[in-house]
Structure 1
Amino acid sequence: MRLKKYTDYALRVMIYTASKPEGELARKKEISEVFHISENHLGKIVHQLNKLGLLETIRGRSGGIKLAKNPADINIGYVVQAMEDDFHLLECFDRETNYCVITPACKLKHLLNDALSAFLEVLNQYTLQDLLANKDELRELMDIK
């Protein structure tokens, strides 16, 4: 299974924003520079995270972004599932586009569905706070003062 870059970048935005010192806003431009992500693409990600109630955006000259919730209240499984548009690992996972002739008898789809469920179950056990256990090291790597 592979997550989209969009989801990866969303998680990076969350980690970066949560790593900022208390009360300091993150800015799309600085996140873009740190992770080498197009600022335009980043804007779409920030917009979706804002719609999900995970980030708060402040407009204006001294604006930026900040977490809308405590990191301990942001579930990683929720973020991943909200950012991914589908988890169709194989053709047979999508009833509308499934033309595989062995689908009625195939055991593979059940095995992979169990694996996907286990994957999501593990993600659901973690919060953004868990990803910040080494916050000082993260700050240094992201050049956050």
Structure 2
Amino acid sequence: MQLTQFTDLGLRVVMYLAAAAPDSSPSTKRVAEQLQLSYAHTTKVVARLSELGVVTTRRGRGGGLTITELGRGASVGWLTRQLEGDGEVVACEGDKPCPLREGCSLRGALRRAQESFYAALDSVTVADLTRAPTRTVLLDLTRPAV
């Protein structure tokens, strides 16, 4: 299974914020630059993370991004489900529906595989993702520029 770019960016942003010093509130622009992400995509991801209560955002001077306790303790499975949405692994319906859809067992098998994928991530928290050796790399990224 391949995650969408949106989910990938969301997980990176959350990991970055989880490793940042508690008194820092980096801007979306800084996070995008440090993670080498598109600012426009990062803005959309941050908006969704804020809707989920994983990140708080403050505008203006002294503003920035901060991870919440919910975000720090969130399971990666839950967060991935929220960012990925409820979409099917394969598109059996739509403009050109699959002619096999009436008697096919592939769709159900893929749905079960998707749930197993998420279930494997349920035991991992965002805090777990920011432990060594990843923490060292994250801390280098989150250090303020001198």
TM-score range, shorter chain: 0.7 to 0.9
Q: Which residue number corresponds to residue 107 of structure 2?
A: 109
Are the equivalent residues in 2 in contact too, given 1:75–1:124 (CA < 8 A)?
Answer: yes
CA RMSD of aligned residues (A): 2.0
- Which sits farther off after the overlay, 21-30 or 49-58? 21-30
Are the equivalent residues in 1 in contact too, given 2:53–2:70 (CA < 8 A)?
Answer: no
- Which sits farther off after the overlay, 68-77 or 125-134? 68-77
Equivalent residues in 2 for 1:1-145, closer than 5 Å: 1-69=1-69, 72-92=72-92, 94=93, 99-134=97-132, 135-140=135-140, 142=141, 144=143
Give the CA deviation at 1:73: 2.0
Runs of 4+ in 1 over 3 A off after TM superposition: none
Unaligned runs of 5+ in 1: none
3-state SS of paired residue (1:24): coil
- Tell me, in whole angstroms, the C-alpha distance in 2 between the residues paired with 1:37 and 1:72: 21
Are the equivalent residues in 1 in contact too, given 2:56–2:65 (CA < 8 A)?
Answer: yes
- The alignment covers a number of residue pairs equal to 142
- Which sits farther off after the overlay, 106-115 or 65-74? 65-74
Amino acid at match of 1:144: R
Same amino acid, percent of matched pairs = 27
Q: TM-score, normalised by structure 2?
A: 0.84
3-state SS of paired residue (1:56): strand
Unaligned runs of 5+ in 2: none
3-state SS of paired residue (2:69): coil
- Tell me, in whole angstroms, the C-alpha distance in 1 between the residues paired with 2:96 and 2:117: 23
Give the CA deviation at 1:55: 0.4
- Tell me, in whole angstroms, the C-alpha distance in 2 between the residues paired with 1:97 and 1:55: 37
Give the CA deviation at 1:70: 5.1
Are the equivalent residues in 1 in contact too, given 2:7–2:84 (CA < 8 A)?
Answer: yes
- Tell me, in whole angstroms, the C-alpha distance in 1 between the residues paired with 2:60 and 2:24: 15
